[in-house]
Amino acid sequence: MKTAEEGGMSVAVVDPCALGRFGLERALCSLSGVADVRAVADLAALLLATGGADVSPGAPDVLVIRLPPDARAALVLLLRLCGHPVCLMPVRRLLILSPFVGAGVSTLLAGVGRPVPVCIASSRLSVCELTACIRGSSPAPEGVVLFASDFSVRGYLSVSECQVLRLCLESVSLPIQAVRRCRSRKTLYAQRSAGLRKLGVTSLRDLLRMLTGQVPAVAGSRRCVSEGGK
């Protein structure tokens, strides 16, 4: 890990894959202008590494999240951003490295209401392209989606709606959720249906297909990319 240097940029990395996390950390440490790199496995570990979401001096300038290649795991990670304390961090930019189409990821990010500038790029970026995305260079590298804050969705997902969808994706059925959370099945079913409707789909299967580009995502990004992010 690099140590902080005056005037340098601090970057935090969230990557569930240990090998990928190590490689990404090394690549970022080699970039000029990057003073500090913290790489962790999940959002909870990021809070511990930065000292808490409400501590501005500990917040990184750029937050990089690399989505896993498994569509379910990627959706779970994106849905965890909804209402998570890490979203209160005063970061200047969020970079999503994705193996999936940009429009599908943009729809999920719009649904959870990310307020900061977002750059969505292929998880196979070259070092030069990664540098441009980290620095926010203009024009953006080919294959990069610049996320518009007014991306069209049918309303922001509530924390409860995100939680129901996330648990369903983790194979926790509605009856089991109802028992664990002391909620009625009818309430949880309504929350799941409302969350899917806001994202422009009617089922979890369609949500997975939207992320992988098999069904169209809700339109609204400034620039779309083909499958694979390139």
- Dump pLDDT digits (tens) for 61-91: 999 999 999 999 999 999 988 877 777 777 8
DSSP letter for 157, please. P
**Measured between alpha carbons, how far is 198 from 217 in angstroms, rounded to an integer?**
12
Q: Are residues 135 and 43 in the same domain?
A: yes
Interior/surface letters 49-85, b for 16+ CB within 10 angstroms, e for the rest: ebeebeeeebbbbbbbbbbbeebbebbbbbbbbbbbe
State the pLDDT at residue 71: 95
What does the alpha-carbon distance between residue 88 and residue 224 come to, in Å, rounded to a whole number?
28
Whether residue 26 is found in the same domain as residue 124: yes
Number of domains composing the chain: 2
d(CA 1, CA 229): 28
What span, in angstroms and rounded, lies between the C-alpha atoms of 163 and 178?
12
pLDDT at 143: 62
Is residue 212 situated within a structural domain? no
Is there a single domain that holds both residue 33 and residue 106? yes
Cα angle 72-74-77, degrees, rounded to a multiple of 5? 110
Q: Is residue 110 part of a domain?
A: yes
- pLDDT, position 145: 65
CATH (domain of 97): 3.40.50.2300
Does residue 204 lie within any of the structural domains?
no
Side-chain half-sphere exposure of 160, counting CA atoms within 13 A: 13
Supply the pTM of this predicted model. 0.82
C-alpha distances in Å from residue 31, one per residue of 27, 66, 133, 156, 179 = 7, 18, 12, 36, 50
Mean pLDDT of 108-129: 81
119/167 same-domain check: no
The percent of the chain in helix, strand and coil, each rounded to the nearest 5, is 45, 15, 45
Task: Give dist(CA 94, CA 9) in Å, integer.
Answer: 14
Return phi, psi of residue 196, to 5°.
-65, -40
User: Does one domain contain both 15 and 120?
Assistant: yes
Residue 70 lies in a domain: yes
Q: Is residue 218 part of a domain?
A: no
Higher pLDDT pick, 15 / 142: 15
Mean pLDDT highest for which of 107-116, 117-126, 150-159?
117-126
Predicted pLDDT of residue 111: 85
- Its domain, for residue 190, covers 159-198
Lowest mean pLDDT across 8-12, 198-202, 220-224: 220-224
Q: Are residues 31 and 134 in the same domain?
A: yes
